[in-house]
Structure 1
């Protein structure tokens, strides 16, 4: 048994009962938070002096395509149509297992470096078991907490092949993982499914994928990026089969009509929003304001690693300000003036980026807040730096002033993964070179294939 005491921090617990506690300590035993409060006894504990720092739960990045890390920047000028054509029907087919492994490894290390302690790795470029194992290898090597969401590729079919919309999730492969290396729900890396859903699959595939997730008690996450569904009544049929609920997750959903959105919220479906990518690629207005009015469950993700930074400070700030802007426009249209008061308090946004993601992944009893009994997934921000000092409201400091450069310490399950501003298991020069070479080769191979 080992104990660590984080002493004299400005603690933002994201726990509605504990709230914020300035000058507080966090006592950790092995992988769990034991106590949070002032003047805790250290005993034989290792002490981390945190005066001048803000302690917060690690961000939960609820939607990221980590496998694209080696192609950063290529999607910066793409719409969703261009992205689907160039990435999924093109570049994705040139990834080998080693490309997936190094992308996931370095991408996950970047998340840790940026203050994220849990990610939902939406892996839809795993055409073989070797690709899948390589993706999991990369996550495990980084030390991050992750839910590996097993997906399926979306290439153009060759003559005689079925379209991807007609191909169900490979059940044997999912069972291999569920009965093997990802069998535990208490591990650092656990299993979920990235399914096609009603928009991208025929009913038989949609039903099979959700039944597989239900039978194995896994989260089933789906992209909904357009109004037109391949299975028009898919959500109603899934609900009738008992497959909609808190273990179902819709990513995006911007184009959903009010009736369908209300139906999904009423059935407890979780939503993950990626506003920066959504606004660039043409999805429409983010769902944030509509979900708030309905009482829907909101989480946030950085999404396309080949397009946007995986920085959850930026993701959360952008999501909040975009939603405030949308509300402001409504008031201005009605009154001709700015609102009298702000419509969305900042504390909601930090909840989206922590507990919201935890709930989406079914991990709300383990992570997402600095609550005694939960996993010790803790981030310390150096608030003495010029961009943050002085701290008047620690939540305002986190959301509107902090950035990656303030992330001093990251602890995941009680283990230090970043300390004194440096990763404890930083990638080597050779690993960084391998990531860059992976991206160059994939781009070159794709260019050759186009003639």
Structure 2
């Protein structure tokens, strides 16, 4: 079984050049003396805790040590900790993106939601652009995708990696995301081995069948290789998950998906994610119209606390009940759901007691600023009579919870992240509030939800490691990365355009 070796990754000169360590950018004698502090004391900040009581604290200190929040109080003694002035700043939990296809990041603006061409998303994105990615493209895409998510306030992500067409690509995808330093889950999709490539002709029906067919033998074996190689530690911020096949859109049986779910559980995947819209039947494939994913999986006793779906707009109340009773979770895109006939599931999921988060879903098509997606969650709750009744009972902190405390619960990490509390992992954002457009009055939640943007993020910590300072990502050269992204785009778009689909 083939994997990307060290020599192959060293050929990624661009990627190696853009994410630099202190030893690479400082003189050798200086670099040898530079060690990241093990403790930080954020002094005199305003704290949007997002804890169970949604408390807001003022002129308060936070002590971070060994990756954890160890104290929250006034006038904490610094000891050996590096002091970070928090005057005029807001500390909040790092945000959580519960559903994203990270590999699409370097394709930004090729297909956008505001274009009529977006109706060809599956054909051009999954059947063409993803197919012509090289392993080097995929490593770079995952790396830059993770880094850009961090830069936009996301510290944990559920990456639905539906681009693993070969062992080399699987290795590159896992390594790229892990090297970015982001937390969450890398969810290995156990299917899709294209029989074609650049310059080939294939029927649309055949290409679609290859996406949706049952997992290949090599996928099932390679998933364990990736787990052991990159995700052997249960304490690392980024963990191993499984992305299940698109059973709703394909001629799959419950028994065939049972095999995938059993495999995921045998692999020890803490999270298994699956695309489920909730519409009965299929979209031009071969499923009977009475077929329901959640209902059928519930009847087969396959749901559980490790089962996580994306989208879910058309889930029935009974199906939300099945998810609640089995401990299941949802992360639905918000901007991405706007064009669909049914409103996003967030309001009904909250009412049913199902943990629900938000996600960008398609970074090639939508803004990466996660504060914009938080606001979109609010506007989405005004769509439909049921949601409209629910939103009238909510406050700003409730909306922010989709990206923080509730979002953490929706990916089974609420014991670690999602709120600013003693004992939690130190995944934190520090926001500046000194620009004119950031109002000085109002609750912290009101101000953040309605007025914060990516450029307000002054500092970021993931597991106690500071990865952003003074508004800049540490050791990341964005101009060089953008130039490399543009170069890869040109070749990927050219090769994708060379594939001819018939029928």
The TM-score with structure 2 as length reference comes to: 0.82
Residue aligned with 2:381, SS: helix
Q: 2:278·2:316 contact (CA, 8 Å) conserved in 1?
A: no
Q: Which residue of 2 aligns with 1:196?
A: 245
Matched with 1:128 is: 166
CA distance in 2, matches of 1:441, 1:17: 51
Instruction: Tell me the equivalent position of 2:420.
Output: 370
Partner of 1:335: none
2:12 is aligned to none
Counterpart residue number, 1:90: 128
Unaligned runs of 5+ in 1: 332-338
Correspondent of 2:273 among 221, 226, 230: 221
- Structure 2 unmatched runs, 5+: 1-36, 196-201, 282-286
Q: Deviations over 1:334-370 (max 9, x none)?
A: xxxxx9x933222111111012232232211111111
Q: Matches of 1:90 and 1:297 in 2, distance apart?
A: 35
The answer on 1:183 being equivalent to 2:207 is no
Deviation, 1:228, is 3.1
> Residue 311 of structure 1 corresponds to which residue in structure 2?
369
How far 1:434 moved relative to its partner? 1.7
User: Does the alignment pair 1:290 with 2:345?
Assistant: no
Distance in 2 (alpha carbons) for counterparts of 1:330 and 1:2: 47
Contact preservation (8 Å) 1:21, 1:37: no
Q: Aligned to 2:175, which of 124, 137, 147?
A: 137
Equivalent runs, 1:261-410 vs 2, <5 Å? 261-280=320-339, 282=340, 284-327=342-385, 342-410=392-460
Structure 1 length as normaliser, TM-score?
A: 0.91
8 A Cα contact 2:374 2:400, kept in partner: yes
CA distance in 2, matches of 1:405, 1:208: 45
Partner of 1:209: 260
CA distance in 2, matches of 1:74, 1:44: 49
Relative to structure 1, the CA distance from residue 450 to residue 427 in structure 2 (aligned partners, 3 Å threshold; closer, same or farther) is farther
230-239 or 352-361: which moved more?
230-239
SS at match of 2:51: coil
Q: Among 400, 417, 425, which residue is 2:475 paired with?
A: 425
Q: What SS does structure 2 have at the residue aligned with 1:316? A: helix
Aligned-CA RMSD value: 2.5
CA positional deviation for 1:243: 2.9
Matches within 5 A, 1:5-154: 5-17=41-53, 19-76=55-112, 77=115, 81-152=119-190, 154=192
- Provide the rounded CA distance (Å) in 2 between the counterparts of 1:78 and 1:136: 33
Question: SS of the residue aligned with 2:72?
Answer: strand
Cα distance change on mapping 1:25 and 1:276 into 2, 3 Å: same
Q: Cα distance, 1:46 vs. partner?
A: 0.9
CA deviation profile, 1:200-229 (whole Å, cap 9, x unmatched): 451233111111122233211011135134
How big is the shift at 1:325? Answer: 4.7
Q: 1:276: how far off?
A: 0.7
Distance between the aligned counterparts of 2:332 and 2:276, measured in 1?
11
